[in-house]
Amino acid sequence: MSTSANAALLILRIALGATMLLHGVQKLTTTGIGGVQEMLAGLGVPLADVAGVALPFVEIGAGVLLLAGLFTRVAAALLAIVSLGAMFTVHFTAGFFAQDGGYEFVLVLALLGIALVLTGGGRWAVDALLRRPRSARTASADRHTVAQTA
């Protein structure tokens, strides 16, 4: 994969990861878990009590994982599901445009998640380091050590 493609994947991971991390933090610090549970119950979400507790932590945890590029596909899939859920339960009836409360923004978040599920995190993700054979990681570390001592 080219350097520009890896840079694009890094930008996608940062954009989606940071956005969802901040949404999760906002739910905990502003709305509170009780408020999230009430909102979800009012929307008719099944198991709103459980979902209201899980949602902020999924957004925070998956956001952090995306920022690191660790378990990228799993984290991106979770965030795509969360975004699609928000689109259909909260925003869809308001139409497309976000200024009217529509699904425009959450659709973009869902599509970013789906793109990362399909591509993975790229070369500049922890996932890529973990995929490298141990011998390649050791050789890379040895070259780095030799370069520092020379």
CA dihedral (16, 118, 70, 2) positive or negative: negative
pLDDT above 60 for 19: yes
**How far apart (Å, rounded) are the C-alpha atoms in residues 48 and 89?**
12
Please state which of the ranges 75-79, 107-111, 134-138 shows the lowest mean pLDDT.
134-138
> Residue 139: CA atoms inside 13 Å, Cβ hemisphere, count?
5
Task: Write the pLDDT tens digit of every residue in 46-103.
Answer: 899 999 999 999 999 999 999 999 999 999 999 999 999 999 999 999 999 999 999 9
Per-residue confidence at 132, pLDDT binned at 50, 70, 90? confident
The mean pLDDT value of the chain amounts to: 93
**How many domains is the chain built from?**
1
Task: Look at phi and psi of residue 47 and say left if phi exceeds 0, alpha if psi is from -120 to 50, else beta.
Answer: left
Domain that includes residue 10, residue range:
3-149
Please state which of the ranges 62-71, 122-131, 137-146 shows the lowest mean pLDDT.
137-146
